[in-house]
């Protein structure tokens, strides 16, 4: 039986963001292939509590669970400052005269605890999520003969471009990804960028989801539009654009369901808007709506909500950023426009022209089945990990 150490700072069971859904799907892949899984996470980043830890241990996703704290309690402030804050200040290279241009989440305390797990185990694979945690592998002889894999999730330099020196940030991101034997890119754009500069194997590993038991139909629905979004800054900008520029142009009888933490940032209230802050399972809402919205003006990477909608055979109306990461850019079930009037027209056309709707619904389902359906993606991952074996032979 193969053994993998799987590091994810967040709690994958909190499925309120695409990155957690991504990690959950990867854990499920390893479980389906009979890997023995040691799961490692960070207490504060993942906002874990004892109930969360127990729930994860009982989920069956991992054989062993380690939730490590990257910093000590502040109860003894002198100990906190002398034995954590000061050493870690220099460890993370944040001195004033050498400002770091890339996020460093690994603390000295966390790496020592992480290495204790490595020391007492022999792994076939070490799987790290995010380049911001990649230095867990830097100059680390405790990895032994394990094949090191990073799931990049996103092109972080693009996210930081207005805050840092882009050249230095990009150089550091490439350096970190190159610490690994294999880098997994969630989108074709990121695979292209990373493969141009990294010397290791860069493989495309798109978002993978289960095929729904029931797919979308054209029967009468409660909602015309469904909009699912978390509360990150990109979704906040997108929601503001949609409700300021597009919503006033829509017929007043169009029923919209807004799901997720984005509701906390919406001031608009109307008879045709239903706000749902959190649901455990989205399937009932997807099956009860006609068209999905993904108004994205900024941000990088694949939009998980688009893949989810496509899996139900549901047409999507989005901006150009909404199709970032999709393998197929056309005939994929998405109608795309960055102009508010055209965006509105795409919505109205889908709601009023049955032939257009049916065509886009067929394209949506075909795109999902070809590129993102779980079992199909699992087979592609099998090839990736087969290549990994050859790297060490």
* pLDDT tens profile 267-286: 888 899 999 988 888 888 99
Task: Report the pLDDT value the prediction gives residue 97, as an integer from 0 to 100.
Answer: 47
Q: Rounded to an integer, what distance in angstroms lies between the CA atom of residue 294 and that of residue 336? A: 10
Tell me: the pLDDT tens digits for 101-129?
A: 888 899 888 999 999 999 999 999 999 99
Task: Report the pLDDT value the prediction gives residue 292, as an integer from 0 to 100.
Answer: 96
Q: Is 265 exposed, middle or buried (0-12, 13-18, 19+ CB in 10 A)?
A: middle
| CA-angle at 190, arms to 305 and 181, nearest 5° | 115
Query: Is the confidence at residue 247, as pLDDT, over 60?
Result: yes
Residue 117 corresponds to which tokens in the numbers above?
Answer: 């797990």
- 262-270 contacts, C-beta under 8 A, 24 or more apart: 262/227, 262/229, 262/230, 262/231, 262/235, 262/236, 264/231, 265/231, 265/236, 265/239, 265/240, 266/239, 268/243
pLDDT band at 31 (very low <50, low <70, confident <90, very high): very high
Query: Is the confidence at residue 387, as pLDDT, over 80?
Result: no
In this prediction, residues 25-41 reach a mean pLDDT of 95
Q: Rounded to an integer, what distance in angstroms lies between the CA atom of residue 255 and that of residue 186? A: 33
Instruction: Please check whether the two domains, 3-208+374-392 and 223-371, share a CATH topology.
Output: yes
Residue 136 corresponds to which tokens in the numbers above?
Answer: 């867990």
Q: Rounded to an integer, what distance in angstroms lies between the CA atom of residue 291 and that of residue 268? A: 21
Q: Residue 203, Cα to own-chain centre: how many angstroms?
A: 16
- 350-357 contacts, C-beta under 8 A, 24 or more apart: 350/290, 350/291, 350/315, 350/317, 351/224, 351/254, 351/290, 351/291, 354/218, 357/218, 357/290, 357/315
Task: Report the pLDDT value the prediction gives residue 82, as an integer from 0 to 100.
Answer: 62
Sign of the C-alpha dihedral, residues 384, 386, 390, 393?
A: positive
**Percentage of the chain modeled with pLDDT above 70:** 90
Tell me: the pLDDT tens digits for 212-225?
A: 877 756 567 889 99
Q: Quick one: which H or E segment has residue 30?
A: helix 18-32
* Cβ-contact 238, 212 below 8 angstroms: no
Alpha carbon separation from 116 to 69, 111, 318, 351, 372 (Å, rounded): 13, 9, 46, 58, 37
Task: Report the pLDDT value the prediction gives residue 86, as an integer from 0 to 100.
Answer: 67
pLDDT band at 96 (very low <50, low <70, confident <90, very high): very low
Averaged confidence pLDDT in the chain: 88
Query: Is the confidence at residue 388, as pLDDT, over 60?
Result: no
Q: How far apart are the first and last CA of the chain?
A: 18
Task: Delimit the domains of the chain by residue range.
Answer: 3-208+374-392, 223-371
Query: Is the confidence at residue 244, as pLDDT, over 90?
Result: yes
pLDDT band at 228 (very low <50, low <70, confident <90, very high): very high
Residue 142 has phi, psi (to 5 degrees) of: -75, -10
In this prediction, residues 356-366 reach a mean pLDDT of 95
44's CB contacts (< 8 A; 6+ apart) are: 69, 70, 71
Strands (E), 124-278: 125-129, 147-151, 182-185, 201-204, 223-228, 256-259, 273-276
pTM: 0.82
CATH class given for the domain over 223-371: alpha beta
In this prediction, residues 43-69 reach a mean pLDDT of 94
The helix/strand/coil state of 368 is: helix
Q: What CATH topology corresponds to 3-208+374-392?
A: Rossmann fold (3.40.50)
In this prediction, residues 312-338 reach a mean pLDDT of 92
């Amino acid at each position: 039986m193969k053994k993998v150490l799987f590091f994810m700072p967040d709690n994958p069971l909190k499925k309120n963001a695409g990155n957690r859904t991504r990690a959950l799907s990867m854990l499920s892949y390893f479980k389906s292939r009979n890997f023995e899984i040691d799961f490692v996470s960070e207490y504060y980043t993942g906002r874990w509590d004892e109930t969360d830890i127990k729930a994860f241990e009982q989920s069956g996703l991992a054989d062993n669970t380690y939730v490590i704290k990257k910093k000590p309690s502040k109860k003894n402030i002198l100990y906190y400052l002398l034995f954590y804050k000061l050493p870690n200040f220099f460890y993370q290279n944040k001195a004033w005269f050498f400002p770091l241009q890339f996020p460093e989440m690994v603390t000295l305390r966390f790496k020592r605890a992480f290495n204790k797990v490595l020391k007492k185990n022999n792994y076939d694979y070490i799987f790290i999520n995010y380049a911001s945690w990649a230095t867990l592998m830097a100059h680390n002889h405790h990895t032994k003969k394990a094949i090191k894999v990073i799931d990049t999730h996103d092109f972080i330099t693009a996210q930081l471009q207005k805050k840092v020196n882009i050249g230095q940030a990009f150089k550091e991101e490439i350096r970190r990804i190159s610490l690994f034997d294999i880098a997994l890119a969630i989108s074709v754009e990121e695979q292209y960028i990373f493969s141009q500069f990294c010397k290791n194997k860069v493989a495309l590993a798109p978002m993978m989801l289960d095929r729904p038991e029931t797919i979308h139909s054209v029967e009468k629905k409660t909602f015309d539009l469904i909009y699912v979004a978390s509360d990150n800054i990109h979704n906040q900008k997108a929601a503001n654009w949609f409700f300021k520029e597009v919503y006033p142009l829509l017929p007043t009888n169009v029923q919209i369901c807004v799901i997720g933490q984005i509701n906390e940032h919406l001031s608009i209230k109307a008879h045709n808007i239903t706000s749902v802050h959190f649901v455990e399972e989205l399937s009932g809402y997807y099956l009860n709506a006609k068209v999905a919205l993904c108004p994205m003006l900024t941000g990088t990477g694949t939009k998980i909500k688009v893949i989810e909608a496509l899996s139900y055979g549901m047409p999507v109306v989005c901006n150009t950023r909404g199709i970032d990461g999709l393998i197929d850019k056309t005939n994929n079930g998405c109608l795309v426009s960055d102009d508010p009037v055209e965006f509105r027209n795409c919505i109205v056309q889908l709601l009023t022209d049955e032939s257009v709707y049916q065509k886009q619904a067929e394209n949506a389902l075909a795109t999902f089945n070809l590129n993102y359906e779980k079992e199909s993606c699992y087979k592609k991952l099998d090839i990736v990990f087969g290549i990994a074996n050859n790297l060490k032979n």
